[in-house]
Chain A
């Protein structure tokens, strides 16, 4: 899974700290999300998407080939 948080944040000219405050997490969490080191909970993903006024699937995108385990059926 990858996300567009950095791009969307830049569009709104927001700092990581400001976004973190808006969605109620620490700045470090936003850093981890932008670096792709952490997949958020559904709640946090929802809050971030809601803040940007977009559906979750437009903020968090799935790279099917990279995410699936070998032998996992197609969605």
Chain B
């Protein structure tokens, strides 16, 4: 229950941060910003779905977490870490060839890591994990 509340709180904070950033007039409406906003919305939706699943489990009288969900999380995290190393290597390579400001590159990297984690989690859920 505590974890579900934390997930919802962090999701709300992310959305509130985005809204505050937009209201302050920082939005230029270019493609990069639209893509980044889309990525953030997908990640927030993923977090909300995860939180809702935990609440549903609790309502049904199931444990919110069990050995499978913990192992899926651990496996997805380790895979995402491994893939993220290559992601950052690629971003470092690209950053030499663009004139993007440092905060945009770091922001892209962080959003990329979150997307990599989401994809790894979905992959582990879909394919299962037999002998790991």
User: Measuring CB to CB, which residues of chain A are less than 8 angstroms from any residue of chain B?
Assistant: 1, 17, 20-21, 24-29, 32, 35-41, 43-44, 67
Known: A36-B130, A37-B127, A39-B130. A21 touches B66 (CB 8 A): no
Known: A26-B66, A26-B68. A32 touches B57 (CB 8 A): no
Give Cα distance in the complex from A40 to B128, angstroms: 12
Complex partner residue of A32 from B62, B128, B131, CB under 8 angstroms: B128
Q: Which residues does chain A contribute within 8 Å of B71, judged by CB atoms?
A: 38
Contacts across chains A and B counted by CB atoms under 8 Å = 47
**Does B101 have its Cβ within 8 Å of any Cβ on chain A?**
no
Q: How many residues belonging to B are interface residues under a CB distance threshold of 8 Å?
A: 15
A45 to chain B, nearest CB (A): 11
**Does B45 have its Cβ within 8 Å of any Cβ on chain A?**
no
Complex partner residue of B68 from A21, A28, A36, CB under 8 angstroms: A28
Contact A40 B67 (CB under 8 A): yes
> 1/0 per position for B32-69, CB-CB distance to A under 8 A?
00000000000000000000000001001111001111
